[in-house]
């Protein structure tokens, strides 16, 4: 088990190098460091001296992949790519192009993101599973069919409509919640309740269908019939046996998502003005802040890989039959 984990971790390194290479190549194909300097220095009266100074201050004055002026190993190490990648691997994200410390910013913005994503995720999971169980309870009846049609309908509507509609109805017309914004601490729920509910609602259609199929498969197995024959009530059979046995597939589908919750939701956060990592990323894309985008891509990749490894662990924990090669 431990050996397997170590191997997985080692395997993550080439992937992260690959990720780095891809983003790096992409970004320097679009924006030369000169472009970046001009954006960040502002529109009024920029001189070549100022651009050179900025590039030097941010370490963008080195060649990209290969340094012809250096000697020996330095031809490869004294380059923009090498220097920046090495720092990333130690989780030192450095300064953003506008001069703030990215690490500090990420730490600060992680919490609002999590405060939005985690409740959405957990509540969504609970609602989806409950409703799916209810649908299975009434399987093949009119209730079930209505639920299915409703699920397809819900799935077919773009999430943007839910967000716009929800904001207009609950904030503008009914005055129930603030339109957007955020407060840290105990007061946060007033700002989060609407985006969380909208997030859950938007994911309802797909979730309901997914878990319903999953539970239906379980329901048709023999042990459920036996349980039922023993006189257990339908609801008990479902919540005891079916749910427990359905846990494994739920787990594998769900665990991989957990680490990426840190990254936040791009659309939700920017619609509701929540100062998390999602809106951080969007701002970086729009402001072409290479340093931040690179850091976020790297972070996203790390979290994704962490999710995969976690899934494996969860699998082993939930089902002892699984062995690792």
Partner 1 sequence: MGLAGCHIPWNDPYPAGTTAKPILLRAFSAPPKHLDPVMSYSSNEWGIISQIYEPPLQYAYLKQPYTLEPLTLTRMPDVRYLNEKGQETTRDRAAFSEYTLHLRGDVRYQPHPAFLAPNRELSAERIAQLTTPYELPTGSRALTADDYAYAIKRMGVRAYQSPILDTMMAHIVGLKKYSENVSQAYEKLKETRSGGGFFDLRPYAIEGVQVVDTQTLKIRIKGVYPQFLYWLSMNFFAPIAWEVDAFYSQPGMKEKNLSLDTWPVGTGPYMLVENNPNFRMRLMPNPNFHAESYPCEASEGVSRALLDDCDQPLPRNGGVLYTLEKESVPYWNKFMQGYYDASGVSSDAFDQAVQLSSSGNIGLTPIMQEKGIRFLGGVQPTIMYFGFNMVDPVIGGLGENQRALRQAVSIALNMEEYISIFLNGRGVAAQGPLPPGIFGYEPPPVGINPFVYRWENGQLVRRSLDEARALLEKAGYANGIDPATGKPLKLYFEAVGASPDDQARLAWLRKQFAKLGIDLVIRATDYNRFQDKMRQGKGQIFMWGWNADYPDPENFLFLLYGKNGVVATGGNGVNYANYANPEFDRLFEQMQTLPNGPERLRMIRTMVHIVQQDAPWVFGFYPRALALYHHWYHNAWPNMMANNTTKYLRVDAAERVERIRQWNEPNRSALWIGLAALLGMGAGAIWLYRRRQQQRAREEGGSC
Partner 2 sequence: MIALLWTDVLVWLLVIMLALWGRLAMRDALVRARWQQVFASPLATISAIILITYLKLALLDSIHLRMDDGQLRSLLDLIFYHLLDASERTYSAPFATHEFVKSVVQQDGQVLQVHLPLRHVQPGMVWWDLLLAAALASLVVWLTRRGVPDFFKNGIFARSPRGVFWGTAWGVWFVLIALWLLSHHYHVFGTDKVGNDVLYQAIKSIRTGVLIGTLTTLLMLPLAIGLGVAAGYFKGWVDDIIQYLYTTLNSIPGVLLIAAAVLVMQGMLETHPDWFGSVAERADLRLLFLTLILGLTSWTGLCRLLRAETLKLSAVEYVTAARALGAGHGRILLRHIVPNLMHLVLISIVLDFSGLVLAEAVLTYVGVGVDPTMNSWGNMINAARLEMAREPMVWWTLAAAFVFMSLVVLAANLLSDRIQQVFNPRNA
Residues that bind partner 2 (CB under 8 A): 14-16, 18-19, 22-23, 26-27, 29-31, 152-153, 155-161, 164, 168, 260, 263, 266-267, 281-282, 285-286, 288, 293, 296-297, 300-301, 304-305
Burial track 218-254 (b if 16+ CB lie within 10 A, e otherwise)? bbeeeebeebbeeeeeeeebbeebbbebbeeebbeee
Q: Scanning the structure block, which residue is given the tokens 């427990």? A: 244
Which neighbouring-strand residues pair with 101? Answer: 95
Q: Which stretch binds partner 1 (CB under 8 A): 69-77, 186-194, 196-204, 257-265?
A: 186-194
Beta bridge mates, 95? 101
What's the min distance (Å) between Cβ of 14 and partner 2?
7
User: Nearest distance from residue 255's CB to partner 1, in Å?
Assistant: 30
165 binds partner 1 (CB under 8 A): no
Per-residue binding string, partner 1, 188-217, x by CB under 8 A, is --xx--------------------------
Residues 6+ apart with CB under 8 A from 103: 91, 92, 93, 94
**Member of 173, 230, 321, 325 binding partner 1 (CB under 8 A):** 173
Token code pair at residue 126: 């609970």
Residue for token digits 């002892």? 320
**Contact between 180 and partner 1 (CB under 8 A)?**
yes
Nearer to partner 1, 171 or 252 (CB): 171
Measured CA to CA, the distance from residue 178 to residue 209 in angstroms comes to 32
Closest approach, Cβ 229 to partner 1, in A, equals 10
In angstroms, what is the minimal distance from the CB of 230 to partner 2?
Answer: 28
* Contact between 204 and 131 (Cβ < 8 Å): yes
């Amino acid at each position: 088990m431990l050996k397997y984990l170590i191997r997985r971790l080692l395997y993550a390194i080439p992937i992260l190098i690959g990720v780095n290479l891809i983003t790096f190549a992409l970004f320097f194909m679009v924006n030369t460091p000169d472009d970046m300097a001009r954006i960040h220095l502002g529109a009024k009266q920029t001189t070549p001296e100022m651009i050179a100074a900025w590039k030097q201050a941010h370490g963008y004055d080195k060649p990209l992949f290969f340094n012809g002026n250096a000697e020996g190993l330095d031809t490869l190490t004294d380059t923009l790519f090498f220097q920046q990648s090495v720092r990333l691997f130690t989780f030192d994200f450095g300064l953003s192009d506008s001069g703030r410390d990215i690490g500090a910013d990420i730490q600060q913005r992680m919490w609002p993101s999590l405060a939005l994503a985690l409740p959405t995720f957990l509540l969504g999971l609970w609602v989806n599973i409950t409703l799916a169980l209810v649908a299975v309870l009434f399987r093949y009846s009119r209730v079930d069919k209505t639920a299915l049609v409703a699920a397809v309908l819900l799935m077919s509507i773009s999430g943007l409509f839910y967000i716009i509609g929800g904001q207009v109805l609950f904030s503008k017309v009914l005055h129930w919640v603030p339109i957007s914004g955020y407060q840290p601490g105990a007061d946060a729920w007033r700002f989060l309740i609407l985006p969380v509910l909208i997030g859950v609602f938007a994911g309802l259609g797909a979730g309901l269908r997914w878990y319903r199929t999953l539970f239906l498969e379980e329901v048709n197995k023999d042990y459920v019939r036996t349980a039922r024959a023993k006189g257990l009530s339908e609801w008990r059979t479902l919540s005891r046996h079916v749910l427990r046995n359905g846990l494994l597939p739920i787990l594998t589908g769900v665990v991989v998502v957990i680490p990426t919750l840190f990254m936040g939701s791009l659309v939700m956060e920017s619609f509701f003005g929540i100062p998390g990592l999602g809106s951080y990323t969007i701002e970086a894309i729009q402001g072409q802040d290479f340093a931040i985008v690179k850091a976020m891509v790297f972070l996203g990749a790390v979290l994704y890989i962490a999710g995969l490894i976690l899934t494996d662990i969860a699998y082993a924990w939930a089902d002892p039959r699984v062995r690792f090669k």
